[in-house]
Structure 1
Amino acid sequence: MVLNLDKATVDSFGDEWSRFDQRDMPHEEAKRHFDAYFSVFPWDKINESSEGFDMGCGTGRWARFVAPRVGRLHCIDPSSALAVARQALKLQHNVSFHQASVSNNCITPGSQDFGYSLGVLHHVPDTALAIKSCVSLLKPGAPLLLYLYYAFDNRPKWFRFFWKSSNIVRLLICSLPPNLKRFSTDIIAAFVYFPLARLAAFCAALKIKVDLFPLSAYAHCSFYTMRTDSRDRFGTPLEKRFTRSQITSMCASAGLVNLKFLDSVPFWCVVGYKSLIQ
């Protein structure tokens, strides 16, 4: 039996989502994030009779926006965060919950009209296999939306050096006990994320181009989001990053065609369709 999960990472996310259950995120901000990630998703192919899956649903933060638009949504997650999702989505009667891994779950292969997995598959041991597992659940022609951490392949060398330096800090923090991990990532949010993000917002207001400012993506985010993402970024044991070409290759090998990448933040977000030729 192939589970394709890292237990330390699963436990880490269980701790993270129990602490940051997303209830304190402003609705307008949550909707803005959702619209950004799903901007390449083919909503015209989905209707109230469609059945699909949220692979690695976490707190259900994406499912809360998707469920009202479809017939049935399967929320799949191996961590204790599934209990948070159950509570958050308790009024959505078309949602099913499965505590399972990407490669071992009870969804019937070839049965789903759509699927998505955002910010999850770069945290599993074999990302290419995980994409194939997701594709296997889809009907031919059905779309799959993915978000995988980018390898800064569209950024200058100095930007990549900035990330490599921060990754040394991540390797230290992710091995800490939960309480120390939370404290450390909150400090980073307060003294790194917040000032850099607000500097980017100030410069943007002055019509200064901030695309290459570190953490400029958080210019208009709440401190709650910064704390959440700091915990995600620095507290997660297993993290991988991929170039656009690597993602293209993995998707093609999994049987996805007609790929469409989002050419703006968040990188890399891509949608593909399960090939009609099996």
Structure 2
Amino acid sequence: MKSGFEVRNIDARVTKDFGREWSQYDQSGLPEKELRDLFNAYFSIFPWSRLPKNAKGFDLGCGSGRWARMVSPRVGELHCIEPSEEAMQVAKRNLVGCDNCRFHENSVDEIPLGDASMDFGYSLGVLHHVPDTRRGIESCVRKLKHGAPLLLYLYYSFDNRPFWFKPIWTASDIVRRALSATPYPVKLLASRLIATFVYFPFARAS
């Protein structure tokens, strides 16, 4: 028997940790070329030509606002939606001058936009972090006009990767899950050590 009560589709601890992360690494110093290259990689399949003039859309889980900064000049109005108060403050700082951005401190199940009102939407690296990913996607789709594009980036099953990739990722995921249960200062120190001694050397070698 249904009680009529629906559990909020948000992981409070993950939201808090990401807010702290964006406060520590607000990406304000990210080189313009690097940001543009990242943007082009993620948005290369986005159908910009299909958007109407002065299109209205949303960035679900806007974080530091890095994608919104690149999208806002191309559209009429962009709604930046983020559940973390800390991350939202970072986004507002990074998007100073982007007068067509609107800011909403809400979770995916509380999107403060009318159903079937948006011309586009995107959510990159966000919805695999909520308890019910499918429900999160459905919440986004409800806000879109019929046929409007929704760009998503989610973790996937590595079908196009070599055989050794998944075991390495699985090992890294075990470490990630263990670290996620530790106090924030421990997570911060560990992330800096991993970035310095793992990610950075691999990036230089690639």
Is TM more than 0.5 here?
yes
1:5-44 alignment, distance < 5 Å: 5-44=10-49
Aligned equivalent of 2:60, options 55, 69, 82: 55
1:149 offset after TM fit, Å? 1.5
Secondary structure in 2 matching 1:92: coil
Asked whether the equivalents of residues 48 and 69 of structure 1 are also in contact (C-alpha less than 8 Å), the reply is no
**CA gap 1:93/1:2 in 2 versus in 1, 3 angstroms:** farther
- Find out whether 1:187 has 2:160 as its counterpart: no
Q: Which residue of 2 aligns with 1:118?
A: 124
Letter in 1 for 2:156: Y
Asked whether the equivalents of residues 52 and 119 of structure 2 are also in contact (C-alpha less than 8 Å), the reply is no
Q: Which residue of 1 aligns with 2:180?
A: 174
Secondary structure in 2 matching 1:97: strand
Secondary structure in 1 matching 2:96: coil
Q: Distance in 2 between matches of 1:68 and 1:156?
A: 39
How big is each residue's C-alpha offset from its partner over 1:60-116, in whole Å with a ceiling of 9 and x where there is no partner? 100001111111100001012011111111211111100001111211110000000
Asked whether the equivalents of residues 114 and 143 of structure 1 are also in contact (C-alpha less than 8 Å), the reply is yes
Asked whether the equivalents of residues 109 and 139 of structure 2 are also in contact (C-alpha less than 8 Å), the reply is yes
Letter in 2 for 1:36: A
Q: Distance in 2 between matches of 1:61 and 1:47?
A: 23
Q: Distance in 2 between matches of 1:2 and 1:66?
A: 32
Q: Distance in 1 between matches of 2:130 and 2:94?
A: 25
Letter in 1 for 2:159: D
Q: Distance in 2 between matches of 1:48 and 1:59?
A: 26
Q: Per chain length, whose mean CA-contact separation is higher, i.e. which structure has more relative contact order (CA < 8 Å, sep 6+)?
A: 1
Secondary structure in 2 matching 1:146: strand
Aligned equivalent of 1:145, options 136, 151, 156: 151
Moved segments of 4+, more than 6 Å: none
Q: Distance in 1 between matches of 2:70 and 2:205?
A: 31
Name the % identity. Answer: 53
Letter in 2 for 1:168: I
1:151 offset after TM fit, Å? 2.2
TM-score by length of 2: 0.93
Q: Distance in 2 between matches of 1:3 and 1:56?
A: 16
Q: Which residue of 1 aligns with 2:3?
A: none
Secondary structure in 1 matching 2:57: strand
Letter in 2 for 1:39: S
| Worse-superposed segment, 173-182 or 110-119 | 173-182
Where structure 1 has 5 or more consecutive residues not aligned to the other structure, the ranges are 201-278
Matched residue pairs, number? 200
Q: Which residue of 1 aligns with 2:94?
A: 88
Letter in 1 for 2:150: L
| Worse-superposed segment, 171-180 or 78-87 | 171-180
Where structure 2 has 5 or more consecutive residues not aligned to the other structure, the ranges are 1-5
Asked whether the equivalents of residues 179 and 187 of structure 2 are also in contact (C-alpha less than 8 Å), the reply is yes
Q: Distance in 2 between matches of 1:171 and 1:118?
A: 20
Q: Which residue of 1 aligns with 2:51?
A: 46
TM-score by length of 1: 0.70
